[in-house]
Amino acid sequence: MKLETKARKIHKMLEELYPETPIPLDHKDPYTLLIAVLLSAQCKDERVNKITPHLFKRADKPADMIECSVDEIEDIIRPCGLAPRKSAAIWELSQILLKKHGGEVPDTFEDLEALPGVGHKTASVVMAQAFEHPAFPVDTHIHRLARRWGLSEGKNVVQVENDLKALFPKDKWNKVHLQIIFFGREYCPARGHNPEECPICSWAGVKSVLDAEKKKKKKPTKKDTIPTKKTATKKAAAKTTTKKTTKKTTAAKKATTTTKETAPKKSPTKTTTTTKKTSTKKSSKTTTKAAPSKRTPAKSTTKAVPKQAASKKVEEPTLWSIAVGVVMYRRKVLMIKRAREPYKGLWALPGGKIEANEFMVDAAIREIKEETGLDVSFEDYLGLVSEHLIEKKAIHDHFLLHICRLKPKKGSKISAQEEGEVAWFTMKQLEAQKDEMVPSDYEIIERMVNEEEGNAFACVIEKKGRRHTLRSFESMSCQSR
């Protein structure tokens, strides 16, 4: 089936299932919608709709909102989660709306995305639902279903958004966006999904994608946890062998002791003294062989263990706590070219070691200033990445990366400091430079910044000479480097 034909068939089915698409978040104007969408990050719409009446009763206009303290806003919105950063963003964007936009919400992507806490998805929702501007916001539901249905192979929301815009009529984007979300919640969830019973996946699902999801979510069976009869028999046999070995060892000890006690005493001459010493040495050697240590197999008691066989101490890799800064400006990301190992010559996100008695945010701001000369302010904490660098089949370095999103202060300029080159990159440019980047940094930008897919990841990078290969980058969180 052609992709365009599949998209038309899916669109027709969605129209039949959801002829009406009410906006999920309660609001009365663009400002209250903007605040509600901001609160909905990693929070269900139902919960947001329970909280916003209390917040809007206190303040439903930018002028009223800045009269509240950040702590007061935080107390009201706490049940939505991520209250500290959301409350700060609400207060700051309200102040900017008053200063720059006369207290009104702007109706352009550029102005919306310049507001604190407002990314491309949030801006798209506001443009579509507040101003009825054609937009196709992509969240986790839409990204998941687009891949399951084979409508997009995009790895980030920008690619998926462009693919879906090309498949559906422009005047239907706003409605199709909500229809896919409603369908995902009702029929096509992330967990407990049965493709055979799904009205769309049953005929449009991509087998390779669905199979990969099954493998990823497969839980251990009873066979993995309960020992089989064979295992139990082997363990019993091992116990019996151990008992027999112990009995033999005990018998040998008794025999040695009896020999010593019953041996006839000879006259105390120099010759007999020497004999006694020799026999004592021999008997002590025999006793040592008869009683092997717990870590040594029974067979090894007949042969001396060579010195070379002794286990070597394996040095544990040092764990480095690193603050990494994702500096965004007009949908561009700030990158630096590393001048030192282990990532010498590769483009990377700025950042460095968190010093003793230093907060993670302070470390990120300091490192960016030292490496790029840019003054930045903290905007958001994105999460962490546990990164293992493997070289010659051994862990060479272990980095615990704390990822922060920051923005440049007004009037601040770039001036290379510690590292070599410093430059701004669009996502298209980053994709083109992917082979010249630290592999995990590309994934951080793609999955933690663009997609907001999760806030905890584990990754493995293999280094061979000058080549760095990303072996895995997997989420450590249940849902959402």
Does position 28 have pLDDT exceeding 80, yes or no? Answer: yes
The Cα 163–Cα 96 span in angstroms is 34
Burial code (b: 16+ CB inside 10 Å, e: under 16) for 262-274 equals eeeeeeeeeeeee
Nearest to 40 by CA among 159, 141, 172: 141
With the CA atoms of 78, 81, 83 and 89 taken in that order, what torsion angle do they form, in degrees rounded to the nearest 10? -130
Predicted pLDDT at 250: 52
Q: What average pLDDT does this structure show over 138-165? A: 90
235's tokens: 């363990």
d(CA 380, CA 109): 20
Which element (helix H / strand E) includes 11?
A: helix 3-17
3 state DSSP class of 318: coil
Range with lowest mean pLDDT among 42-56, 94-108, 117-131, 343-357: 343-357
Q: Would you say how long the chain is, in residues?
A: 481
* Residues with a known catalytic role: 121, 139
Give all domains of the chain, ordered by start, each with its CATH number: 3-217 (1.10.340.30), 319-475 (3.90.79.10)
Q: What is the pLDDT of residues 214-257, one digit of tens each?
A: 776 554 443 333 344 444 444 445 555 554 555 555 555 444 44
Could you give the C-alpha distances from 384 to 360, 432, 454, in angstroms and in order? 11, 25, 10
Q: Give CA 45 to chain center in angstroms.
A: 24
Please count the helices (runs of H) and the strands (runs of E) in the chain. Answer: 19, 9
Q: Is the dihedral of CA 265, 271, 273, 278 positive or negative?
A: negative
pTM of the model: 0.53
pLDDT tens figures, 101-128: 999 999 999 999 999 989 888 999 999 9
